[in-house]
Chain A
Amino acid sequence: MEKQEEINLLLQKQDLEIDLLLEVIFRQFGYDFRDYNKAHIRRRILHRIQTLDLKSISELQHKILHENGFIEMILRDLSINVTEMYRDPSFYLQLRKEVFPILKTYPFIKIWHAGCATGEEVYSFAIMLKEEGLYHRAQIYATDFNPLVLETARKGIYPVNRIKEYTQNYQNAGGSQSFSDYYIAKYDSVILDQSLNNNIVFAEHNLVSDSVFAEVHLIICRNVLIYFNKDLQNKVVKLFTESLIKGGFLGLGSKENLMFTDVYEKYQIVDARERIYKKKIQI
């Protein structure tokens, strides 16, 4: 056989093994990664195999099935929990300018952070709601499918080494106080103001398999859809559309877009650059 054919065959087998692995994870543990972007999944799996010095994907599959607690590591590998406070400050600034004035007209507001990871984004938002006098009449649902990150999120304790960057971000996001009012530094951690937590509920929710759980005024779901293929993106934005009240708002990550999804005509654009959308009142 020619060398190039051999390479091709090898890669085909690798793809097959990855598909089988995802099937195993789904059938045995209920986490469905089958419609995530494949290049990302492949990279994470091959990386894990390399760090553990395994010979094949099948060997990894054996461990997942037979070693207690192993799946948690794989879940962590595949669910990228990277986040920060006020990521893309201009997004927060625009929400403050264009969306908050309308939210203020409601007596009570419900907000859903989908894929909130370790919670930095949720607290960033809570601080902004406080400064705008909206917090006391808000209910915030913050969800993720990874129970481990939710534990961290509930605590609201973060490493101190990023606080300089966060302070800068906070200011660029239009923060009106001194950022240090919102935390106490202790050893190498900062503990966020615990009262920020009063109106937040952190809960497990899987965007792939769980259904609508509340009717909300605003959904923030950033840097989650980029990991999904087209079909899954469509499914999830449909879920968001069912969840939003008429005239409710949707904020996506800076590289995510409703334009290529099935629900596009159900929304009007509030801010194209910041990917902020409003569900039309008449659909």
Chain B
Amino acid sequence: MIDNQLYKTIVIGTSAGGFKALKTIITELPQSFCLPIIIVQHLSPQSDGFMAQYFNQISHLQVKEADSGEPIRPNHVYIAPANYHLLIEKDETLSLTVDEKVNYARPSIDVMFESAAMTFQNRLVAIILTGANDDGTKGICTIKRLGGLTIAQSPETAEVGVMPKAAIEAGCVDLILGLEEIAKLLSTLCHRPKGSIQDQ
């Protein structure tokens, strides 16, 4: 049912408990993994990019905070900076805004997901992980409507089940999986031959 060659980008939204959940997924992904991952995790406005630096050190992937105007590159993980919304442009670059909060959040998952849906349509995989509110539900529904593959962390396994539960109850989720299963699935979506030249 899943066409492994189709997908170009993965987007992830999470809130409370997200740090640990993301850590599990990102460290499970092999060096050969080559799709870009774009993440919105609700953060306090004062956060200073520690998460990106830390994930960069402990994983095989290039993890960084998203910069305005930056092109989306394979094998890179982009994390939305605190206090900015992250959007994805049609030309597959990232842009940031300081627009009002959405669902009490900036960055908001809905904002990023909806722009990703318009750009990637059916070539997008969207994942909702642990969280205590329903930001992301609207976005994941748009992604599903435009043909993307949608996944929620199974609420029982989530530190806080509210966020994945909201997406599931809206009827917008294709697969409900645990963290390890999500990582395993993602690993099958893109493999480069071992020893091939890494992207920068």
Contacts and interface: CB of A to CB of B under 8 A. Distances in A.
Contacts of A15: 90
A256 interface: yes
A3 B147 contact: yes
Contacts of A80: 97-100
Given A4-B122, A4-B147, A39 B68 contact: no
A16 B89 CA distance: 15
Contacts of A260: 69
A8 B119 CA distance: 10
Interface residues of A, number: 25
A126 B132 CA distance: 41
- Pick the most buried of A4, A40, A227, A260: most chain B CB atoms within 10 A of its CB: A40
Contacts, number: 66
B98 A39 contact: no
A255 interface: yes
A73 B147 CA distance: 33
A24 to B, nearest CB: 21
Interface string B47-81: 00000000000000000000111000000000001
Contacts of B97: 37, 40, 80, 226-227
Nearest to A233: B69
A43 B88 CA distance: 11
B174 to A, nearest CB: 15
A11 B117 CA distance: 10
A134 B188 CA distance: 62
A15 B119 CA distance: 11
A42 B122 contact: no
Interface in B122-160: 122, 146-147
Nearest to B146: A7
B87 interface: yes
Nearest to B70: A260
A80 B111 CA distance: 15
B68 A7 contact: no
Given A37-B95, A226-B98, A43 B121 contact: no
Contact of B98 (A3, A7, A8, A223): A223
Given A37-B89, A226-B95, A256 B121 contact: no
B67 A257 contact: yes
Contacts of B88: 39
A235 interface: no
B89 A255 contact: no
Interface in A1-43: 3-4, 7-8, 11, 15, 37-40, 42-43
The interface centre, meaning the residue of A3, A42, A225, A233 with most chain B CB atoms within 10 A of its CB, is A42
Given A37-B87, A39-B89, A39-B90, A256 B95 contact: no
Contacts of A11: 118, 121, 146
B95 to A, nearest CB: 5
B137 to A, nearest CB: 16
A266 interface: no
Contacts of B147: 3-4, 7
Contacts of A8: 121
Contact of B87 (A39, A230, A253, A255): A39
A114 B33 CA distance: 43
B115 interface: yes
B30 to A, nearest CB: 30
A44 to B, nearest CB: 8
A230 B69 contact: yes
Nearest to B91: A38
Nearest to A10: B146
Contacts of A37: 87, 89, 95, 97
A82 B98 CA distance: 7
Question: What are the 9 closest A-B residue pairs judged by CB atoms, nearest first?
Answer: A39-B87, A39-B115, A37-B95, A226-B68, A223-B98, A39-B89, A255-B68, A80-B99, A255-B96
Interface of A: 3-4, 7-8, 11, 15, 37-40, 42-43, 80, 82, 223, 225-227, 230, 233, 253, 255-257, 260
